[in-house]
Amino acid sequence: MSPKPSTDPLAGVAAEPGVPKPDPMLTISDVRRSFGGITAVDVDHLEIPRGLITGLIGPNGAGKTTLFNLLTGFDTPDRGKWTFAGEDLAGVPAHLVARKGMGRTFQLTKALSRMTVMENMQLAATGQSGERFLTALVAPLWRGKEQEITERADELLVRFKLDHMRDEFAGTLSGGQRKLLEMARALMVEPALVMLDEPMAGVNPALTQSLLDHVKGLRDNEGRTVVFVEHDMDVVFDISDWVVCLAQGEVIAEGRPSEIGSNRAVIDAYLGATHSEDPAHRKKRHERRAS
Amino acid sequence: MAADIVFDALRTALGPTAAAYALLAIGLNIHFGFTGLLNFGQAGFMLVGAYGVAITVSTFGGPLWLGVLVGMLAAVVLALILGVPTLRLRADYLAITTIAAAEILRLLVRSTAAEPITGGVFGLRQFGGDFFALNPLPDGRTYFGALAASPNRAWVMLVGWSLVALMTLLVWALIRSPWGRVIRSIREDEDAARSLGKNVFSYKMQSLVLGGVIGSLGGALFALSLQTVQPDTFLPQVTFFAFAILILGGTASTGGPIVGAIIFWFLIGSLQSGLRRFSDADMLPEFFGAQAVGAVTLTFVGVLLMALMIFRPQGILGDKKELQLDVS
Ligand SMILES: Nc1ncnc2c1ncn2[C@@H]1O[C@H](COP(=O)(O)OP(=O)(O)O)[C@@H](O)[C@H]1O
Ligand SMILES: [Mg+2]
């Protein structure tokens, strides 16, 4: 897989909602989901470029998490279609979506508390025949694969600086470490597309930078496509190749980070939402700049 | 008298009933301890195992092995019927469905309409012939020393506890395997398991079937040891006792059901023996008749569970550290 090309792969793509892209990994058409009276997601058309980092922004309640849930099979839309790597994925159950290469993390981390960090990692590996009932009873049939999996997991744990917690229950990890574990675990599945729902939220500022480096690494070193939700605009503009802004379920703007920062619709959408500009947030941002 | 009570209690603790309950609890451990499934109808799985043997042998004159097989197959079918509609829903749906299904089964086998096959309220008897014919233990003496088991009782004990050991080994092998890892991940957070490509529904179904079949073996053992089945043996309190055993021994610990069953039945055995002996010696108040034993037993189990929750919530073999982790 190639590292990030120096020329802009999105050159010539206009910064307007629903604009087609040269090499989309994920194409979403007319996806709609409402809960009772409110429309949580109503996306006419959206393409996610392959091999790049797309930042998904929008005020609280904009429908970002719901969109993730729909695309990954955790929720069912009222209507709509989407294709992932050319394959129609609407209606495919979550576990099959994951196996097809669409990995995700959750806004509220889902560490498997009463399993060790290593078990969390091993679980995520694919192709372990010992997960079948009858094969499970004959250890020699799966030991070799297990060793292979464990080695790969150990490498990832070192990369995510979790190796010292390897044999601890995941429930003993700090919030930030759980986010790291969840990301590392998602990578065990070898996803072509990784969807990260607020990977930086609640993470100790000392860890944010390394998390950011990991996200960039997914693109630069492994050629994966990344979509991530984040509220901190500095972070979004720092690492995204492309930014999509959702408000009240609709894509109200998309473009390069430089274009989004000055976009009228985006500013308006955020004006009512104090979330991204509350003092605590500013302070945190300030601290990171200083470091 | 104290020594007599202890021996009585030991006889109960190591007897066939304790082994049968250990099997029920092993099944529940797979469901609840490892997968996080709330099966409140283990009595139903026990019932199909017991009636599988009884009906096949007593009503239709079939061989014993076929009866056991029928019981196990019935448990598979019951698990599928319970699981297919509920395992995709929230956990409580399974709980409600299982407790209802177990009661429906009990009322069904005791109904007049079913009497030609199940014997109705009177139940069935005389289906243990094949089983006791296999007994290699010579007649005319007692076994296990102070436990003074008759050859037949000793034979049921041997088979029962061997079965318990075998099933414990099976659970141990499964839980440490990658299969068991998926099962435990579902207990922790099934959405996480899904996001990692695991077919959660299929694993829950496998767990429900496996634990149910082990429960049905407990039922078959129970029926063979008593050489009779009666519908009202399979009251919801059977499931309640099996849960008490599981929690006492230590939920999600492989050896928990064995330890739990032995201690539980030791306590019940001493309680009942004590009551009986005191009553025989006219040392109990008048109103404390024989009917009171059941009520006292139930009360005792309730108090035992409360004490456990206060003093040792993880059970005897459970992991305290594991229990203290927040599982949100
Ligand atoms: N399961 C649900 N039931 C009812 N309403 C929901 C549910 N999930 C999300 N919503 C609503 O949908 C809207 C979008 O929510 P969400 O996708 O979580 O937003 P975001 O992740 O952008 O903050 C919100 O108004 C939220 O209250
Ligand atoms: Mg959200």
Q: What is B2-324's CATH number, 1.10.10, 2.60.40, 1.10.3470, 3.30.160?
A: 1.10.3470
DSSP state of A221: T
Of B170, B177, B188, the CB nearest to A115: B188
Mean pLDDT for B298-325 is 84
User: What are the domain boundaries of chain B?
Assistant: 2-324
Q: Which residues contact B284 (CB under 8 A, 6 or more apart)?
A: B275, B278
What residues in A contact B181, CB-CB < 8 Å? 115, 119, 122-123, 131
Contact B314, B323 (CB under 8 A): yes
Residue at token pair 């089945």: B229
With bands split at pLDDT 50, 70 and 90, how would you rate the model's confidence at B87? Answer: very high
SS (H, E, C) B134-158: CCCCCCCCCECHHHCECHHHHHHHH
Report pLDDT for A6.
57
CA Rg, chain A, in Å?
A: 19
Among chain A, residues having any CB pair with chain B shorter than 8 Å are 72-74, 93-96, 98-99, 103-106, 110-115, 119, 122-124, 126, 128, 130-133, 135-137, 139, 142, 146, 169, 171-172, 185-186, 188-189
Around ion ligand 2, which residues have CB less than 5 A away? A 65, 107
Integer Cα distance of A203 and A200 in angstroms: 5
Contact B130, B124 (CB under 8 A): no
Nearest chain A residue (CA) to B252: A114
List, for residues B199-257, the tens digit of each pLDDT value: 999 999 999 999 999 999 999 999 999 999 999 999 999 999 999 999 999 999 999 99
Q: What is the mean pLDDT of residues B8-20?
A: 95
Three-state secondary structure call for residue B78: helix
Which amino acid is it at B217?
A: L
B192–A106 CB contact, under 8 Å: yes
For ligand 1, atom 11, the nearest C-alpha belongs to A40
Q: C-alpha distances in angstroms, A172 versus A52, A124, B263, B321? A: 34, 19, 33, 10
- The pTM assigned to this predicted structure is 0.91
Beta bridge partners of A45: A29
What distance in Å separates the CA atoms of residue B293 and residue B296, rounded to the nearest whole number?
Answer: 5
What are the pLDDT digits (tens) for B147-184?
Answer: 888 999 999 999 999 999 999 999 999 999 999 999 99
| Residue of higher predicted confidence among B44 and A233 | B44
Per-residue pLDDT of chain A (291 residues; tens, 9 = 90+): 445 555 778 888 888 888 898 989 999 999 999 999 899 999 999 999 999 999 999 999 999 999 999 999 999 999 999 999 999 999 999 999 999 999 999 999 999 999 999 999 999 999 999 999 999 999 999 999 999 999 999 999 999 999 999 999 999 998 889 999 999 999 999 999 999 999 988 788 888 888 898 899 999 999 999 999 998 888 899 899 999 999 999 999 999 998 888 888 888 887 665 444 444 444 444 454 444
DSSP code string of B79-97: HHHHHHHHTTS-HHHHHHH
Show Cβ contacts of residue A291 under 8 Å, excluding neighbours closer than 6 positions: A205, A209
CB atoms within 10 A of CB A190: 15
Instruction: List the domains of chain A with CATH numbers.
Output: 24-110+191-290 (3.40.50.300), 112-172 (no CATH)
Q: So what's the pLDDT on residue A1?
A: 47
Q: Which of B178, B188, B200 sits opposite A131 (nearest CB)?
A: B178
Which two three-digit tokens encode residue B61? 């004159």
Torsion of CA A158, A161, A165, A170, to 10 degrees: -110
Closest listed residue to residue B86, CA positions, set B77, B98, B74, B103: B98
Strands A79-84 and A24-35: antiparallel
Considering every ligand atom shown, identify the ligand nearest to the alpha carbon of residue A71 and give its number: 1
Atom 16 in ligand 1: which residue has the minimum CA distance?
A63
- Kindly report, residue by residue over B68-81, the tens digit of the pLDDT: 999 999 999 999 99
What would the mean pLDDT of B188-192 be, rounded to a whole number? 96
Å between B196 CA and nearest CA of chain A: 5
Instruction: Give the separation between CA A54 and CA A242, rounded to whole angstroms.
Output: 5
Ligand 1 atom showing the smallest separation from residue A63 Cα: 17
Q: Lowest-confidence range among A137-151, B10-24, B195-209, B272-286?
A: B272-286
CA distance B186 to B196: 11
In sequence order, what are the residues at sequence separation of 6 or more whose Cβ sits closer than 8 angstroms to the Cβ of residue A58? A64, A245, A246, A247, A269
Are residues B179 and A171, on separate chains, in Cβ contact within 8 Å? no
The enclosing H or E element of B211 equals helix B200-226
Share of chain B above pLDDT 90, in %: 71
Confidence bin at B324 (pLDDT 50/70/90): confident
Answer for the pair A74, B175: CB distance below 8 angstroms, yes or no.
Answer: no
Q: B-side interface with A, Cβ within 8 Å?
A: 170, 173-174, 177-182, 184-185, 187-189, 191-200, 206, 321-322, 325-328
Helix residue ranges per DSSP H, chain A: 64-71, 94-99, 117-124, 133-136, 140-159, 175-188, 205-220, 233-239, 257-261, 264-271, 279-290
- Whole-angstrom distance, CA of residue A41 vs CA of residue A60: 13
Contacts of B250 in chain A (CB under 8 A): none
Q: Which of A169-183, B35-49, B273-287 tops mean pLDDT?
A: B35-49
Min distance B188 CA to chain A CA atoms (Å): 5
